[in-house]
Amino acid sequence: MKTILTTSALALIAPMALADEIRVLNWQGYGTDLDWAIAAFTEATGHTVVHDYFNSEQEMLTKLRTNPGAFDVVLINSAFTPQAQGEGLLAPIDAAKVPNLADIDPALATNQDLNPGGALYGVPWTWGLTSMAVSTVDFPDGPPNSLDVFWDPEFKGRVSIRDDALEAVQFAALASGRNINDIGIDDLDAIKAELTDLMPQIATFWSAETDWNQNMAAGQFAVATYWSGSAARSISEGLPVEFVVPVEGAIGWLDGLSIPASSTKQDAAHAFIDWMIDPEFYVRWETEGAPATSNTAAAAALPEDSFNRKVLGDPEVVARVQFMRPVADETREAYLALWQELKAAQ
Amino acid sequence: MTGAERLRALGHLAPAYLWLTLAVFLPLSAMAFFSLLTDVPFGTREWSFTFRNYADALTNPTYATLLWKSVRLAFWVTLWCLILGFPCAWVLARMLQGRTREALFLLVILPFWSNSLVRIFSWAIVLRGNGVLDQAAGSILPGVRLNLMFSESAIIIGLVHSYLPYVILTCYLSLQAIDETLIEAARSLGARWPRILWRLVLPLALPGLIAGAVLVFVPVVGSFMEPRLLGGRVGTTYGTLIEDQFIAVFNWPLGAALSFILLAVVLVILAAASPALRKAAA
Amino acid sequence: MIRQTLARAYLALILIFLYAPIIVMAVMSLNASQFYALPFEFSTRWYERLFTNREILSAAWRSVWIALVVATIATTLGTMAALALWRHDFPGKRILQTLLFPPIAIPWLITGTAMLIFFFGIGIGRGTPAVILGHVALALPYVIVTVTARTASFDRALDEAARSLGARPFTIARRVTLPHAAPGIVAGALFAFAVSFDQFVVSYFLAQPGDTTLPVLIYTAIRKGFTPEINAVSTIIIVVSMALMILAARYARFGGTK
């Protein structure tokens, strides 16, 4: 009797001993916390997933710095990966534990920011553009194809950009034909002049999807900057907007999934990352509005008329994209000072 | 005070102030410590002592502009709250009785319990173009457009709405305690209403007015969420500066320094106002 | 009488002002558009979705009981402190009163971050006890200031007279001081509840990710785009509170006796 009980008890405990609870740190509502995705993962591997969120990249870094061992998977934008790795916060990715890495676009897999020091520290996951979206109500004959529309007096008081110093500076750099990652001191004066001219055009600065959507729906905006993934979501939910990549190009960003060095469940973490870049996950996520994938197999599996395929699948468009590179803390603070000065003068 | 009295007083004060010490004063001391550093002492970061944060905060013209803007905003919001709230408290305290009064007293507090963010977004729906006010105005006077959003007026409306109940309540508490016989005595002596109000009621209601003013002025100076959502382009405040040091960059020492400067300014304003108030109460 | 009519009209206007966004909030909870767009189209789908949204419901419930605990503790401690400040004069009293300002003057972002680091450093960490610790601290100044506003209008002479007549402190408290202060105490309790219930920043820093509160949920939902389900839960809360208040008004007298 005792033997049977012990054996069955062991049989129950054994799989549980192999099953971990992993903690994921990400933006809220950004793919990793979709109920069906987590359920599928738990069913396949036995590991459970718990989420913590951040509302800014600085917050993400703070959480990593002050909570060793608390997270197992963290989403880090490629512009921040070198900084995190430089502070010793990240563990290198073991390609053997992430089989789907083989299908990742080689250009993204070898991205220099995700490979600081020559080893992979962030698995390329999603990428997208910060570009412009226009209200189809204001542009019935088709959207404009240049960022100049932001400065067009006809739309005074109906323009919006995000309240973010770095994005504002890079946006102005893009509009004036500069390299967004290489802005010199003289350039900064010219950019300040551009932004000063832009200010009277602006109704408000949007800060998140909620106010962007509500203001667009209410007709407060005619044209505004926006993210490609968010635009996909808004359009799929019926908002009358159109996403445009103008001739000046767009700002590109690349998000990677990394594993903190202090994580004690790195095997499970690798498994979760593998699921996140799996085409099966991505294709379903894309139907709900998602940024572009870095997995070529997943991209190929998308339906012909999907947003990401239409907008971001065009190589001519992609050629106009300038991806964000890391920015030094001092530069960030300089941009912030400029931005605060502009806002204070209103 | 006798020994026993002193002990009793201590016993009554200690729990609240010990709690505040543990939860607020000690943490804030840590922040004050940070404000004197070049960088936060986490992990491998190098740090040293400096007054640079305070120097920067005090000499930067952008910061001064925004500090003034925030103080001005707080002043206007407080003034409107007092002007609108005091008569309301008067009506509640002295013109209504019994169940009606208590029911209305509670009704005034109820909006407090709605989430402030949802409230602000609701104000946006009321004030914006194609919003409630616009459509109402358009149906009465066709052709009239009303878009109050993204303006200082919108910020003041939103903040007054959030903080008005504080003033109504504190004034109510003071007014309701005024002895009816005092007023009757004054009237029987031939005093007219304006005089009674000015020389009798206001001084007695002063504690309520001051308490209300403080509960409005102090938080509004540091506010940034409502100004940003309702004011848009003109909605940047001193509070935004502080938030930026935590959200946009990793510069807690500067953020801490800015906050303590804010605290100092608030205390100075309150200290400057108090002799004037004490004179009025005498 | 003209004055009575004017007075009631004024009160009505103020109430309309106070309730305008509340009514809009409630109406929008029944609006079909998820982008809060007008024209209005009736729909109950947000309420239907709310009742299957475990996350919002548990966050709302957690906010309510935390606020109740906080209001109880803060009102008790705050009233004791306020009464002691009123009754006695002593060196250092001015300092104690000034110390009430930092919690309300310093932006909650700073206080919240400071609490986060400090609690982490001394081992309290995050979680519901930390949240309650933080909320009570933020609510205390409101209670003390409010009760003080009320006690400022009493005469200490009454208190002293009672004592000179030989009444014991506890009796004085029960039969003289507390009844006088009652409206202030109730107002303080209501403020404390509101401060805790609507408190976002401190909760954001101190709550465990799985056990979040309603304001935190609403704020973090901003990024993704929050839906009128939030209006639905807010409307339900207001309606329930109104019902409770009507009940309280029927059975309790706290308007204050003279």
Pairwise CA distance, residues C128 & C136, whole Å: 12
Per CB-CB distance under 8 Å, the chain B contacts of A205 are 228, 232-233
> In this structure, what are the phi and psi dihedrals at residue A51, rounded to the nearest 5 degrees?
-110, 145
Pairwise CA distance, residues C205 & C201, whole Å: 7
Percent of chain A with pLDDT over 70: 95
pLDDT at C172 over 80: no
Pairwise CA distance, residues A297 & A280, whole Å: 10
Q: What is the pLDDT of residue C251?
A: 65
Most confident range (mean pLDDT) of A154-163, A295-304, B194-203 is A154-163
Per CB-CB distance under 8 Å, the chain B contacts of A203 are 149-150, 232-233
pLDDT at A171 over 60: yes
- What average pLDDT is seen over chain A? 88
Contact C36 A217 (CB under 8 A): yes
pLDDT at A9 over 80: no
Q: What is the ipTM of this complex?
A: 0.86
Q: What angle do CA C148, C153, C156 make, to 5 degrees?
A: 95
What structural domains does chain A harbor?
A: 20-127+253-313 (3.40.190.10), 128-251+325-344 (3.40.190.10)
Pairwise CA distance, residues B77 & B202, whole Å: 20
If you search the block for the tokens 């800014």, which residue do you land on? A56
- For residue C146, the surrounding DSSP H or E stretch is helix C128-151
Tell which CATH architecture fits domain C54-207+240-251. Answer: Orthogonal Bundle (1.10)
Per CB-CB distance under 8 Å, the chain B contacts of C85 are 13
Q: What is the pLDDT of residue B278?
A: 60
Taking residues A176-195, what's their average pLDDT?
Answer: 89
Most confident range (mean pLDDT) of A8-17, C55-64, C166-175 is C55-64
Taking residues A287-300, what's their average pLDDT?
Answer: 84
Q: Is A301 exposed, middle or buried (0-12, 13-18, 19+ CB in 10 A)?
A: middle
CB B122 within 8 Å of CB C28? yes
CB B249 within 8 Å of CB A58? yes
Per CB-CB distance under 8 Å, the chain B contacts of A199 are 233
pLDDT at A10 over 60: no
CB C102 within 8 Å of CB B25? yes
Q: Where are the domains of chain B?
A: 67-281
Q: Hey, CA dihedral for C196, C198, C200, C201, is it positive or negative?
A: negative
> In this structure, what are the phi and psi dihedrals at residue A207, rounded to the nearest 5 degrees?
-125, -15
Q: What is the pLDDT of residue C258?
A: 34
Q: What is the pLDDT of residue C224?
A: 67
pLDDT at C76 over 50: yes
Neighbours of chain B (3+ CB pairs under 8 A): A, C
β-strands A123-135, A250-260 pairing: antiparallel
Contact C109 B246 (CB under 8 A): yes
C105 touches chain A (CB under 8 A): no
Q: What is the pLDDT of residue A194?
A: 93
- Residue-wise pLDDT tens digits, B79-115: 999 999 999 998 888 887 777 887 888 888 888 888 8
Lowest mean pLDDT among A123-137, C8-22, C151-165: C151-165
Contact A220 B128 (CB under 8 A): yes
pLDDT at A14 over 80: no
- Residue-wise pLDDT tens digits, C28-61: 899 888 888 878 889 898 998 888 888 888 898 9
Catalogue the long-range contacts made by B115-118 (C-beta closer than 8 Å, 24 or more residues apart). B115/C198, B115/C214, B115/C215, B115/C218, B115/C230, B115/C234, B116/B162, B116/B225, B116/B226, B116/C198, B116/C200, B116/C215, B117/B225, B117/C200, B117/C215, B117/C218, B117/C219, B117/C222, B118/C25, B118/C218, B118/C230, B118/C231, B118/C234
Per CB-CB distance under 8 Å, the chain C contacts of B204 are 153
Contact B27 C142 (CB under 8 A): no
Report DSSP letters for A252-300, one per residue: EEEEEEEEETT-S-HHHHHHHHHHHT-HHHHHHHHHT---EESBHHHHH
Pairwise CA distance, residues C214 & C242, whole Å: 19
Contact A329 B44 (CB under 8 A): no
Residue, of C139 and B39, whose pLDDT is higher: C139
B68 touches chain C (CB under 8 A): no
Q: What is the pLDDT of residue A264?
A: 92
Single-letter code of the amino acid located at C184: G
pLDDT at A260 over 90: yes
* DSSP three-state, residue B39: coil
A239 touches chain C (CB under 8 A): yes
pLDDT at C242 over 90: no
Nearest to B59 by CA among B271, B272, B267, B261: B261
CB C192 within 8 Å of CB C71? yes
Single-letter code of the amino acid located at C86: W
Q: What is the pLDDT of residue B276?
A: 62
Taking residues B14-32, what's their average pLDDT?
Answer: 92
Single-letter code of the amino acid located at A189: D
pLDDT band at A7 (very low <50, low <70, confident <90, very high): very low
Catalogue the long-range contacts made by A109-112 (C-beta closer than 8 Å, 24 or more residues apart). A109/A294, A111/A78, A111/A254
Nearest to A287 by CA among A240, A252, A235: A235
pLDDT band at B133 (very low <50, low <70, confident <90, very high): confident
Q: Hey, CA dihedral for B167, B173, B176, B182, is it positive or negative?
A: negative
CB A153 within 8 Å of CB A224? no
β-strands A159-160, A123-135 pairing: unpaired
Task: Give, to the nearest 10 degrees, the angle between helix B116-127 and helix C2-28.
Answer: 100
Q: What is the pLDDT of residue C78?
A: 94
Contact B106 C145 (CB under 8 A): no
Q: Hey, CA dihedral for B114, B117, B123, B125, is it positive or negative?
A: negative
Taking residues C112-130, what's their average pLDDT?
Answer: 85
pLDDT at B281 over 80: no
Pairwise CA distance, residues B124 & B134, whole Å: 11
Q: What is the pLDDT of residue B144?
A: 77
Q: Where are the domains of chain C?
A: 54-207+240-251
Task: Give, to the nearest 10 degrees, the angle between helix C178-197 and helix C54-87.
Answer: 150
Pairwise CA distance, residues B8 & B15, whole Å: 12
Q: What is the pLDDT of residue B118?
A: 87
Q: What is the pLDDT of residue A15?
A: 47
Nearest to C225 by CA among A210, A290, A212: A210
Taking residues C113-136, what's their average pLDDT?
Answer: 87
C241 touches chain A (CB under 8 A): no
- Residue-wise pLDDT tens digits, A86-97: 999 999 999 999
Q: What is the pLDDT of residue A92?
A: 94
Q: List the alpha helices (DSSP H) in B232-251.
A: 238-247
- Residue-wise pLDDT tens digits, B200-252: 888 888 888 988 998 899 889 988 888 988 998 899 999 999 888 888 888 88
The topology (CATH level 3) of B67-281 is MetI-like fold (1.10.3720)
C114 touches chain A (CB under 8 A): no
pLDDT at C221 over 80: no
Pairwise CA distance, residues B214 & B272, whole Å: 13
- Residue-wise pLDDT tens digits, A39-84: 999 999 999 998 888 888 988 998 898 888 889 999 999 999 999 9
Window C:189-208, CB contacts with A under 8 Å:
none
Lowest mean pLDDT among B56-70, C64-78, C184-198, C210-224: C210-224
If you search the block for the tokens 């820093």, which residue do you land on? C205
Taking residues B29-49, what's their average pLDDT?
Answer: 84
- The number of residues in chain B equals 282
Residue, of B274 and B76, whose pLDDT is higher: B76
Based on its alpha-carbon atoms, the radius of gyration of chain C, rounded to whole angstroms, reads 22
Nearest to C149 by CA among B11, B215, B93, B196: B215
Neighbours of C189 (CB within 10 A): 24
Hey, what are B166's tokens? 């504080």
Say which of A53, A66, A210 has its CB closest to residue C225.
A210
Q: What is the pLDDT of residue B277?
A: 61
Q: Using CA atoms in the order C72, C75, C76, C79, what is the torsion angle rounded to 10 degrees?
A: -170
